[in-house]
Amino acid sequence: MFKYLSKRVVVIAVISVLSGCATFGLTDLFQGYNSQMKPVKAAVRQGNFVAAQNLLGERDQSNNTYVLSLLERGRLQFLAADFPASQKTFAQAYVQVEEQRNKAKIQISKGIEKLGAVVSNDNATSYEVPYYEQSMLHSYQALNYLFQYDLSGALVEIRRANLVQETALKVYKNEIYKAQSELNNSGMSTDSLQGGYPSMDSAIGKVKNGFQNAFTFYLSGILYEASGELNDAYIDYKRAIEIYPENNYLQQDVLRLATKLAMQDDLVSFEQRFGKYQTRDSKGQGQVVVLVERDMVNSKQDVGLNLPVGRSNYGLKFFSFSLPVYDGTLPLHNKLTFNSAGDTYQSHEIVRIQSLAAKDLKDQLPSLLTRQVVRVVAKEQMRQKLSREAGDVGNILASIYNIASEKADTRSWSTLPDQVDIVRMSVPVGKQILQVQVNGQQKNIEVNIQPNRITLINLSVIGSYTSYQTINL
């Protein structure tokens, strides 16, 4: 009897150690991040950012989701127009991202984290901020500086955002190839997902990769133009137009600067694609650029699959997998209509962040599957060992733990906008009121237009919440 009780105590102790071996809480282990964020996002849609921050809670720096919590908090502070606090929080997040990058460069071992992930799930590893989230971090940090009247600080951040995309473009193909090779060596392929794993193709749409962000390039062009660096502005407008060639405002920007800078070869090419530049009399006019944030990205969901693992000469065995997925459908956002001095303008999409997120996840599937193969095999070996050493009790407890801990990693920056639109218009100098139709209601935006200057407006439309900030650049 004593021997039997000892074995049972040992089994319980082992499982307790396994569940606490990583630097994350039991909530993270047994409850998905998407579930934890539901009340936060509900508060955001009501414009209650104090409640949203309280619901977000505090995470210790040792927590594996610490950097993500900083991104969420910085975004909530930005929406609340607390730009100094948001700037400080995003600066802390940037430090964490740089530490991750430096660790990757010198190949510091993640053995402890990997052990935790093998015996639990991917939530036991530190959250690695994907490239598209990094570029948005710097874009919002640039806006934080702008709304505190620091154009030079904003330009530093926008250069960092562009560098993120340049770096991602260089390493993208190698990372995909390496992940696919590791998956093939594990005795599995993404073909195993056919028919069971929901398709994200509709959500991905036309995006070529999960990091090239026309919004960041466009914001960069605006800031360079405001600072008089027209060549740099032109370069980034061109980068943006290659991602979103159908955006009419981008078309006019590249035509305008190609004409002004006498880029004759480019001008011929652009005129063939987009037509002649529609010149307007700028006397007594100022430029207004509106950045329109639409709602929030969908959170990742958890999908369970029963998939074969093994090589043909060893035979196949089916295991239960839990993988993250994005809803395959994209919400439709109507174009917003702006009225100014008798002219009407409609907003045009400049980035669909939901599509970037879905494409990034699809590209990560080989790596996710590889870790899953290692994990389910290791858990099965642990179950067999405990079954041999502790009989039915060990088998039952290990099985319960394996099922309960098999949770997909649904972490992502969940308070980012689903989509960003832009509007660019010429407006008479002086105090003006722009009228915009939002959710069936007319909203008035007060601006003070200065001659030959750009007035930047950031308009947030999230659920029932609508707000804006303006600044003359």
Checking if the pLDDT of 358 tops 60, the result is yes
For 256, counting Cβ atoms within 10 Å of its Cβ (0-12 exposed, 13-18 middle, 19+ buried), the class is middle
Arithmetic mean of pLDDT, 175-204 = 75
Residue with tokens 């969420």: 72
Answer yes or no: are the C-beta atoms of 8 and 390 closer than 8 Å: yes
Average pLDDT, the chain: 83
**Hey, what are 124's tokens?**
């036991």
What is the rounded distance in angstroms from the CA atom of residue 412 to the CA atom of residue 69? 10
Instruction: Identify which of 416, 434, 413, 437 has the alpha carbon closest to the alpha carbon of residue 425.
Output: 434
Q: Are strands 285-294 and 454-462 parallel, antiparallel or unpaired?
A: parallel
Instruction: Answer whether CATH 3.40.50.620 is correct for domain 2-472.
Output: no
**Among 70-74, 99-103, 308-312, 421-425, which stretch is predicted with the lowest mean pLDDT?**
308-312
Highest mean pLDDT, choosing among 97-101, 174-178, 423-427, 437-441? 423-427
DSSP count for the chain of H helices, then E strands: 15, 11
Question: Residues 116, 122, 128, 130: what is their CA dihedral angle, to the nearest 10 degrees?
Answer: 170
> What are 3's two structure tokens?
């021997």
DSSP H or E run through 291:
strand 285-294
Q: Which residues in 400-415 are b (16+ Cβ under 10 Å) and which e?
A: ebbeebbbbbbbbbbb
Q: Check pLDDT > 80 for residue 138.
A: yes
- Which of 127, 129, 138, 208 is CA-nearest to residue 173? 208
Q: 290 pLDDT exceeds 50?
A: yes
What is the average per-residue pLDDT within 143-165?
96
* DSSP state at residue 431: E
- DSSP for 301-362? EEEEEEEEES-TTT--EEEEEEEEE--S-----PPPEEEETTEEEE-EEEEEHHHHHHHHHH
Q: Find all residues with CB under 8 Å of 169, minimum gap 6, and list them.
A: 209, 211, 212
pLDDT tens by residue, 207-249: 988 989 999 999 999 999 999 999 999 999 999 999 999 999 9
Which carries the bigger pLDDT value, residue 31 or residue 196? Answer: 196
Q: What is the mean pLDDT of residues 134-146?
A: 97
399 pLDDT tier (thresholds 50, 70, 90): very low
d(CA 121, CA 375): 8
Q: Which residue has the tokens 């109507």?
A: 334
Phi–psi pair at 215, nearest 5 degrees: -60, -45
* Among candidate residues 207, 226, 212, the one with its CA nearest the CA of residue 355: 207
Is pLDDT at 329 greater than 60 in this prediction?
yes
Q: Does pLDDT of 6 surpass 70?
A: no
Pairwise pLDDT comparison (29 vs 220), residue with the higher score: 220
Residue 199, Cα to own-chain centre: how many angstroms?
A: 19
CA distance 250 to 350: 9
- At 331 the pLDDT is 86
User: What is the three-class DSSP state of 175?
Assistant: helix
User: For residue range 246-272, what is the model confidence (pLDDT) as tens digits?
Assistant: 999 999 999 999 999 999 999 999 999
Residue 244 to residues 26, 208, 213, Cα–Cα distance (Å): 43, 11, 9
Residue 295 in this model has a pLDDT that exceeds 60? yes
165 neighbors 242 (Cβ within 8 angstroms): no
pLDDT for position 28? 58
Q: What would you report as the CA-atom Rg of the chain, rounded to the nearest whole angstrom?
A: 25
| pLDDT band of 25, cuts 50, 70, 90 | low
Instruction: Give, in order, the Cα–Cα distances in Å from 86 to each of 61, 92, 367, 434.
Output: 18, 10, 33, 28
Lowest mean pLDDT among 84-93, 109-118, 274-283, 338-347: 109-118
Q: Average the pLDDT over each of 110-114, 122-126, 136-140, 151-155 and give the range with the smallest value.
A: 110-114
Calpha distance 304→463 (Å, rounded) = 30
The torsion of the CA quartet 374, 375, 377, 383, rounded to 10 degrees, works out to 150
Instruction: Report which of 227, 214, 201 is spatially closest to residue 145, judged by C-alpha positions.
Output: 227
Give the tokens for residue 13. Answer: 């102790």
pTM score of the predicted model? 0.86
* Calpha distance 68→61 (Å, rounded): 11
Q: How confident is the model at residue 388 (pLDDT cuts 50, 70, 90)?
A: low
Record the tokens describing residue 340, joined without a space: 């100014």
Q: What is the mean pLDDT of residues 125-142?
A: 94
Burial of 283 (0-12, 13-18, 19+ CB in 10 A): exposed
140 token code pair: 């919002």
Cα separation, 81 vs 77, in Å, equals: 6
Q: Exposure of 276 by Cβ count < 10 A (0-12 exposed, 13-18 middle, 19+ buried)?
A: exposed
Q: Quick one: what percent of the chain has pLDDT higher than 90?
A: 55
